[in-house]
Structures are given as C-alpha cells and as structure tokens.
Structure 1
Amino acid sequence: MTEAQTPGADARQRLGFLPVAETAALARYGVLIPDPGSVLVSPGVQLEEGVVLWPGVILQALDGGTIVIGAGTQLFPGSRLVASGGLIKVGTRAEIGEEGGFTLKAEAGNVIEIGEGARLLGGGSLTLSNRIGRGAQVLGPIRCQNCTLGDGGTYRDPEPDQRGGVLKGSGVARQINVPTGSVIQAFGLFSDGTLRRQSYFHPKSGG
C-alpha cells in the first residue's frame, strides 16, 4: 500500500500535517517517534535532537504560528500544542503530558514559553500568554491563563525552596505569579489559594 493509499493520508494533507513517511523521516534529525502513524506534525515545526513524541501527540502550527521544541524534551500521549498565529517555545528536557496529556494553545499575539526541565502533567492547559520557568511545574487539570512560574531547579532538586514555581491541584489559574521555591495548591480558583514555600509540602528530615 502506497502512502497515498494509507487510510487517513488525504485527511492529513487537507488538515496541513506531514504525511506519515515524512513524520517518520524526522528520525534523521534525532527525533524519536515510536509510532509515526499516530503522531500529527505540521510542516515547519522545529524539533531538536532527542525530542520524544509518544503516540497521540499533535503539534499544529497554522496562520503563521511557530512551535519550537528543545532537545531531549518528551511529549507524552495526549499532548496537543497548537500555535494559531502565536509562538510556543519549549526548552530542553521538559516533560509534557504525562498522566493525562496537556494542551498548549497560543493564538495571534500570544507567547507560551516553557523553560528547561519544566514539567506539565495531569491533563491541564495553557492558553493566552504564559511563562513556565526553568524547572517549574503545573501538576493536575489546571487551566492556566497569563501565568508566570519562576525559574529554579527541577523537581529532582534536593532543596525544595530552590525549585521552580509550582501550581498543583485542579481548577482555573488566571494571572497567577509563583516565584522560585513557592507553590500554590488549590481546587477551584487559584486566586483564592495560599502561596507557600515548597518545603511546607516537602519538609527535610533531621536537624
């Protein structure tokens, strides 16, 4: 069966995505795609070496939008990045979409920036403009709009109060600013949540 005869090939073309063969050919640039037939990538999406696209990932750039994914970043099943005239820029070694996928959508005039080693999981979303700093995390089904999470170490850093900013829980976060080493846990409106140091949730044992 030729590429043109493959089920869904015409739909891919009409929706502006690469054919399966061209998606698989991204491997020549060091991109890891275990199942190219289940992944949708728009032409012009910039993927650096070591990016992993697990099954069910969608990277869609349209209306002049731009998507850039840094080296070593993993996009887990259910991750959907849509740059509809806007810019989505993901740094190196980020983790997006584990435990339920994640959606990033940047329309015209909006910029979504994800820092090195950041982690987004649990079925949440980023819309409008957001800056998720180096090592920062969004944990849970949280709708983030115009949020800023400060730079810091990753969740593996032994010093909790030096890690990137964190939002955890579920609900809506609008214009929330979480500095380095801090966290807001909420279930509803994050504007009603309490800003705490991360050591509150991860106290060190011993003296």
Structure 2
Amino acid sequence: MHEPHRSGDAARERLGFLSEAEIIALSRLGILSPDPGSVLVSGDVRLAEDVVLWPNVILQISAGGRITIGPGTNLFPGTRIVASGGSVTVGAGAEIGEEGGFTLKAGAGETIDIGDGARLLGGGSLTLSNRIGRGAQILGPIRCQNCLLGDGGTYRDPEPDARGGVLKGSGVARGIEVPQGHVIQAFGLFAEAVMRRQSYFHPKG
C-alpha cells in the first residue's frame, strides 16, 4: 500500500524536493497545500506565512539559485518557478497562475522580482531578468523577457490609471517597459503595439 509513497519520496529526494510529509508539515508554519502529493518544493525555497500552494505547483532551485515567496501569495495550479542559479522573489499577496498556470525561470545571474499584489495569469512566462511592480499584471499567454512593469495599485484599485503597469493579450514581450496606469494590449509582438492609459479600457460612467 505505501510502496508508491516510498518510491515517490525517493525520487523527490534525489531531485532535491521535500517529501510529501514535509510538504504537509509546512502547515505548521501557516503554509497551505490542499493537495500536497501533487506539489514539488525544493528544500531551500523560502515560504512565508499564508502562502497557498495549489495542486501541481513546482518550486525548483538548482545551481545555488534562490526562491522567496511572500506572505499571502496564491500560487495557482500549473505554476512553475525555477531558479537555476538565478533569483526569484515574489512579494506579499501576489496571484500567480490562475487560468492556465504561469512559468518563471531565472538562470545564472538573472533576477525576477514580483511586487506585492501583482497578478500573473493565463499561461504566460517570465524568462531572463524582469521586474513586475506592485499591483502590475500580465494577463494572457505572453512570453516576457527583460520587461519592467511599473508599481501602482492592484487590479482592485477603483482608479485604473493608478494601477500597476499591465500587459494583456498574447505573444512575445521583449524589453518592454510599462509605467503606472498604462497598458499594452497585443496579439503578437508587444514592441509593435500601442501603449494606452488603463482608463481607455475601463472608462468611468
């Protein structure tokens, strides 16, 4: 009956992941994982209180990388964060991976910084170095490389032009910078798209 668990834990250990029992034990630190058998977390990952690890989340460190997840952050099903010699830092109250998962990969010398209250959804990815500011959003299957989204309020902020920078749509975003209150919507190359105020998409009255 328990042989699959033993062999599974042996594979986890060989790959540097916590055992299923160790994932369950994270609840003592206030970290929630409703399906611990489907979650893979490297032993050196730093998780703050009230982080939620939904099913099929992978947090993987290798080659001296670092992953830090701030308090109250939700990592939704299909989220994969890999620090292979690089650093990934996620602030408090972020939402990553809803509506199709999300992938963050930081290689040697690369840094991915996700601010408090940021939201990344829809199956996109971050590779190389990126800074996604407080309240900023990536909405859709967008491949982001070396992007900078400005700090601001979250998507719940009643004033659209006070929210963090936004990328929405699908395609490739390389070296894109979006300041507070602005958005680029594209279906292809974001470098060729127009930047607009967020109030353009969310007019009042």
Fold match (TM-score > 0.5): yes
Query: Does the CA contact (< 8 Å) of 1:38 and 1:57 recur in 2?
Result: yes
Matches for 1:78-157 after TM superposition, within 5 Å: 78-157=78-157
Aligned to 2:52: 52
Residue in 1 that maps onto 2:29: 29
Whole-angstrom CA distance in 1 between matches of 2:97 and 2:143: 14
Separation in 1, partners of 2:121, 2:81: 14
- When residues 200 and 5 of structure 1 are mapped into structure 2, their CA distance, relative to the original with a 3 A threshold, is closer
Cα deviation digits, residues 69-128 of structure 1 (max 9, x gap): 000000000000000000000000000000000000000100000000000000000000
The structural deviation recorded for 1:10 is: 1.8
1:101 maps to a residue whose letter is: G
**Aligned AA (1:166):** V
Does the residue aligned with 1:64 lie in a helix, a strand or coil?
Answer: coil
- 1:74 is matched with 74
The corresponding residue for 1:42 is 42
Number of residue pairs aligned between Structure 1 and Structure 2 = 205
Aligned partner of 2:184 in structure 1 is 184
Tell me the CA shift for residue 34 of structure 1. 0.5
Distance 1:172 1:11 in 2: 35
Task: Give the AA of the match of 2:190.
Answer: F
Percent identity of equivalent pairs: 74
- Deviation of 1:6 after TM superposition, in Å, equals 3.3
TM-score, with structure 2 as normaliser: 0.98
Closer/same/farther in 2, CA of residues 8 and 188 from structure 1, 3 Å limit: same
Q: Deviations over 1:162-196 (max 9, x none)?
A: 00000000000000000000000000000001000
Residues 5 and 170 of structure 1, relative CA distance in 2, 3 Å threshold: closer
Unaligned runs of 5+ in 1: none
Q: Which runs of 5+ in 2 are unaligned?
A: none
With the length of structure 1 as denominator, give the TM-score of the two structures.
0.97
